[in-house]
């Protein structure tokens, strides 16, 4: 839910939040972020490790960043999100503040408090921003929905026990059950 306030928030409000308070700025509204669960953090840690190792093993130039990592999707200082995992292959998008523009791959691990945000608001935001690939990993439902936004393919739903191909790295498959 957005923080209660009658005016539109700006990136200045976002960058001046009190220490320790995490929020995202979307369409002029600040959305509080609840502390993640243990399983959420485990998955984020494991995704970072697996994808980072793949990039290193293949001498790739992409970089993987776990939350908290600020992403200014539209690069015009209006929308700031903190995806659970961001993979950026265009180093020109990286700034001292985070990423300015759409990452190539974004992964969100759904928490009970973030379900609407991840399934609806962020999906639409990421599509409009030009994110190439978006994963919604849902521990409660034991499924991952993969959107290959660049190709416009219909989303694919995978059970945690099924290997999922990473579209931006065609020879990388991740089985979510192996990460838990």
Angstrom distance (rounded) from CA 71 to CA 86: 8
Strand 98-100 with 105-109, pairing: unpaired
Tens of pLDDT, residue by residue over 108-119, are 999 888 888 889
Residues 6+ apart with CB under 8 A from 178: none
**Domain-located, residue 7:** no
Lowest-confidence pick of 71-75, 81-85, 144-148:
71-75
Angle at 132 between CA 25 and CA 86, to 5 degrees: 50
Residue carrying the six token digits 């908290």: 68
**Domain-located, residue 11:** no
**Domain-located, residue 19:** no
pLDDT for the residue numbered 47: 97
Instruction: Kindly write down the DSSP assignment for every residue of 99-136, as one continuous string.
Output: EES--SEEEEE--TTTHHIIIIIHHHHHHHHT-SEEEE
Whole-number mean pLDDT of the chain?
Answer: 90
Is the confidence at residue 16, as pLDDT, over 60?
yes
Lowest-confidence pick of 68-77, 93-102, 118-127, 139-148:
68-77
Tens of pLDDT, residue by residue over 18-67, are 887 888 888 888 888 888 889 999 999 999 999 999 999 999 999 999 99
**Domain-located, residue 14:** no
**Domain-located, residue 8:** no
**Domain-located, residue 153:** yes
Q: What is the mean pLDDT of residues 72-92?
A: 89
Q: What does the chain come to in residues? A: 180
pLDDT for the residue numbered 38: 92
Token pair of 82 as six digits: 């903190």
**Domain-located, residue 109:** yes
User: Residue 138 belongs to a domain with what CATH number?
Assistant: 3.90.1570.10
**Domain-located, residue 146:** yes
Residue 64 belongs to domain spanning: 34-178
The reported pTM is 0.89
Angstrom distance (rounded) from CA 106 to CA 37: 19
Is the confidence at residue 127, as pLDDT, over 80?
yes
- Element holding 14 (H helix, E strand): helix 11-15
Q: For the chain, what is the domain count?
A: 1
């Amino acid at each position: 839910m957005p923080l209660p306030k009658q005016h539109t928030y700006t990136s200045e409000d976002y960058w001046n939040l009190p220490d320790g308070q995490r929020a995202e700025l979307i369409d002029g509204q600040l959305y509080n972020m609840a502390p993640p669960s243990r399983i959420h953090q485990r998955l984020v840690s494991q995704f970072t490790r697996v994808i980072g190792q793949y990039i290193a093993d293949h001498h790739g130039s992409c970089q993987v960043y776990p939350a908290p990592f600020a992403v200014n999707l539209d690069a015009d200082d209006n929308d700031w999100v903190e995806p659970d995992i961001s993979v950026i292959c265009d180093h020109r998008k990286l700034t001292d503040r985070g990423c300015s523009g759409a990452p190539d791959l974004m992964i969100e691990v759904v928490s009970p408090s973030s379900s609407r945000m991840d399934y609806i608001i962020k999906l639409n935001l990421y599509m409009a921003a030009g994110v190439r690939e978006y994963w919604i990993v849902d521990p409660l439902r034991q499924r991952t929905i993969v959107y290959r936004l660049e190709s416009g393919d219909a989303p694919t739903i995978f059970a945690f026990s099924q290997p999922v191909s990473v579209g931006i790295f065609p020879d990388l498959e991740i089985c979510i059950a192996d990460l838990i």
